[in-house]
């Protein structure tokens, strides 16, 4: 039993509850509390289902959750319990996952640009696996971490238009030189890594990248490396409304892996899925703290009509520098739902959402058609799990909206299966194994054959 997650870490709810139900209850309770301005409700069971679905769709791939995507304690504890590893981008994230007891061999320091002090921190805390894609990073690691095991970050497409300035990875052409330099510096390179970004990728891009990775492995082998690890990154969709479903992407990846890294070839495959795991599990509620009215200009319309039409700007206590930072990470513009149902005959107005009034640039959303709202009214945002909660909150940094974690009894039983406590009675077994959805069917398989033993990684 891992013991990272306990029943006291979340609210146990019956199967069939929705985060919306829970949120409505909390809002009723909060009715009396005037200073509560925003909070999250997180369905941990949704993450369990995603995990089962991941294992079913990509049976050869071990997930390392990128902590920067959601560093909240409940999420880290749950994923640790499920046997996932963690991809960390700095010392704070490493400290965060180690503080709950995650062993160093389940941590991957995945940032392509690392501060020397953080590399030294990783070295002194036993974290060995990290990435590089240029000589400067290589030199930093060679000087500061004698036991590092590196993955060379590659990009499959060298055309500038294919990559934003946020993307990293060296071209196949530069691989040989970097691997030779690593040899000279006596740095151990254990494999290849790529991350294709998160902008609704075509599945074939994964296949191309796996093919390029295989060529990079060949160069490594020629130079005498014994590479045995391939990281295929993240970028899998977190919701169902995307052009390509997760399972379709997974099917393309599996075919590419079978072709270029067939089972038994001695290469372990990992991925760093962030938004896939977490987006749909979190719902956010925020109240309006201030509002401004802007008369709408409607040339040509008669006076009476233009008088009833106006634009409204609503300020929330959170903005793009806190919870809505997801907007900076390629997430779609959040669509608020109203807590109170408006009267059907209330006119809607062009509305904008802003962060706290102190920052004029803090734009959350524009052009929303909403009925007129008042200060104190609540807005509800679904699919708010990814890139909304900073690790700093765990380490006593900026105050963050409170998170209420919930999980159904059935999901908890599935988690206990991972904890090495298979359901005891026939009734227990049936409830865990009930094929409630495609993800839960996997629970049935897992109850019979433990296909996934928590990674002994690398």
Q: Binding residues for ligand PLP, per CB under 6 A?
A: 66, 69, 110, 195, 198, 233-236, 272-276, 386
Half-sphere exposure of 214 (CA within 13 A, CB side): 14
- In this complex, which beta carbon is closest to ligand PLP, that of residue 151 or of residue 179? 151
Please report, for residues 131, 282, 312, 335, the alpha-carbon distance to residue 315 in angstroms, rounded to integers and kept in the order given: 41, 21, 10, 15
- In this complex, which beta carbon is closest to ligand PLP, that of residue 194 or of residue 261? 194
- In this complex, which beta carbon is closest to ligand PLP, that of residue 85 or of residue 371? 85
- In this complex, which beta carbon is closest to ligand PLP, that of residue 234 or of residue 355? 234
Dist CA 390 CA 393 (whole Å): 6
Minimum distance, C-beta of residue 94 to ligand PLP, in the bound complex (Å):
15
- In this complex, which beta carbon is closest to ligand PLP, that of residue 49 or of residue 429? 49
- In this complex, which beta carbon is closest to ligand PLP, that of residue 233 or of residue 336? 233
Tell the burial category of 154 from Cβ atoms under 10 Å away from its Cβ (0-12, 13-18, 19+).
Answer: buried
Give me the helices (H) in 44-101, please. 44-57, 73-81, 91-99
Cβ neighbour number for residue 304 with a 10 Å cutoff = 7
Dist CA 388 CA 329 (whole Å): 10
Please report, for residues 322, 335, 353, 362, 457, the alpha-carbon distance to residue 328 in angstroms, rounded to integers and kept in the order given: 11, 16, 16, 12, 32
Minimum distance, C-beta of residue 388 to ligand PLP, in the bound complex (Å):
12
Q: Cα 188 vs. chain centroid, distance in angstroms?
A: 29
Sign of CA dihedral 69, 76, 15, 377: negative
Those residues with Cβ within 8 angstroms of residue 306's Cβ, 6 or more apart along the chain or in another chain: 295, 296, 297, 298
Q: In 3D, which of 173, 137, 135, 131 has the Cα closest to residue 153?
A: 131
Minimum distance, C-beta of residue 223 to ligand PLP, in the bound complex (Å):
25
Q: Which position has the token pair 């749950």? A: 78
DSSP state of 170: B
- In this complex, which beta carbon is closest to ligand PLP, that of residue 370 or of residue 389? 389
Dist CA 137 CA 134 (whole Å): 6
Antiparallel, parallel or unpaired: β 378-381 and 282-295: antiparallel
Rounded to the nearest 5°, which phi and psi values hold at 42?
-120, 125
Minimum distance, C-beta of residue 3 to ligand PLP, in the bound complex (Å):
27
- In this complex, which beta carbon is closest to ligand PLP, that of residue 85 or of residue 423? 85
- In this complex, which beta carbon is closest to ligand PLP, that of residue 271 or of residue 288? 271
Minimum distance, C-beta of residue 95 to ligand PLP, in the bound complex (Å):
19
- In this complex, which beta carbon is closest to ligand PLP, that of residue 238 or of residue 319? 238
Dist CA 83 CA 451 (whole Å): 12
Minimum distance, C-beta of residue 104 to ligand PLP, in the bound complex (Å):
19
Dist CA 238 CA 225 (whole Å): 36
Cβ neighbour number for residue 200 with a 10 Å cutoff = 12
Minimum distance, C-beta of residue 422 to ligand PLP, in the bound complex (Å):
31
Collapsing DSSP to helix, strand or coil, 180 comes out as: helix
Minimum distance, C-beta of residue 101 to ligand PLP, in the bound complex (Å):
23
Do residues 293 and 85 make contact, with C-beta atoms less than 8 angstroms apart? no
- In this complex, which beta carbon is closest to ligand PLP, that of residue 88 or of residue 443? 88
Collapsing DSSP to helix, strand or coil, 53 comes out as: helix
């Amino acid at each position: 039993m891992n013991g990272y997650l306990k029943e006291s870490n979340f609210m146990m709810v019956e199967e069939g509850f929705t985060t919306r139900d829970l949120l409505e209850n909390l809002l009723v309770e909060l009715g009396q509390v005037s200073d509560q301005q925003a909070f999250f409700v997180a369905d941990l069971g949704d993450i369990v289902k995603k995990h089962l679905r991941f294992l079913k769709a990509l049976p050869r791939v071990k997930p390392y959750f990128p902590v920067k995507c959601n560093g909240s304690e409940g999420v880290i504890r749950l994923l640790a319990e499920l046997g996932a590893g963690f991809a960390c981008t700095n010392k704070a994230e490493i400290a965060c996952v180690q503080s709950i007891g995650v062993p160093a061999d389940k941590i991957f320091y995945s940032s392509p640009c690392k501060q020397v002090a953080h590399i030294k921190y990783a070295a002194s805390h036993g974290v060995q696996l990290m990435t590089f894609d240029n000589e400067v990073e290589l030199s930093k690691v060679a000087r500061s971490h004698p036991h590092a095991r590196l993955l060379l970050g590659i990009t499959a497409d060298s055309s500038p238009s294919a990559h934003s300035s946020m993307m990293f990875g060296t071209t196949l052409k530069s691989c040989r030189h970097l691997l030779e330099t690593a040899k000279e510096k006596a740095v151990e390179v254990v494999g290849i890594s790529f991350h294709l970004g998160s902008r609704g990728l075509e599945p074939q891009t994964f296949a191309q990248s796996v093919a390029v990775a295989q060529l990079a492995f060949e160069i490594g082998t020629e130079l005498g490396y014994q590479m045995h690890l391939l990281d295929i990154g993240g970028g899998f969709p977190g919701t169902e409304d995307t052009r390509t479903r997760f399972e379709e992407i997974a099917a393309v990846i599996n075919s590419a892996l079978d072709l270029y890294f067939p089972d038994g070839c001695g290469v372990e495959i990992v991925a760093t899925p962030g938004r896939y795991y977490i987006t749909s599990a979190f719902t956010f509620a925020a109240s309006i703290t201030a509002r401004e009215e802007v008369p709408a200009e409607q040339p040509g319309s008669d006076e009476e009509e233009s008088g009833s039409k106006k634009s409204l700007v609503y300020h929330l206590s959170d903005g793009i520098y806190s919870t809505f930072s997801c907007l900076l990470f390629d997430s779609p513009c959040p669509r608020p739902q109203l807590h109170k149902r408006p009267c059907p005959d209330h006119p809607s107005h062009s509305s904008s959402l802003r962060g706290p009034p102190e920052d004029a640039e803090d734009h959350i959303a524009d052009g929303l058609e909403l009925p007129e709202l008042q200060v104190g009214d609540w807005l509800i945002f679904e699919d708010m799990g990814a890139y909304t909660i900073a690790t700093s909150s765990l380490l006593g940094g900026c105050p963050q909206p409170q998170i209420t974690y919930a999980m159904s009894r059935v999901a908890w039983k599935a988690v206990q299966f991972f904890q090495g406590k298979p359901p005891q009675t026939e009734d227990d077994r049936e409830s865990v194994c009930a094929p409630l959805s495609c993800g839960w069917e996997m629970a049935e398989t897992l109850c019979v054959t433990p296909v996934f033993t928590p990674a002994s990684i690398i």
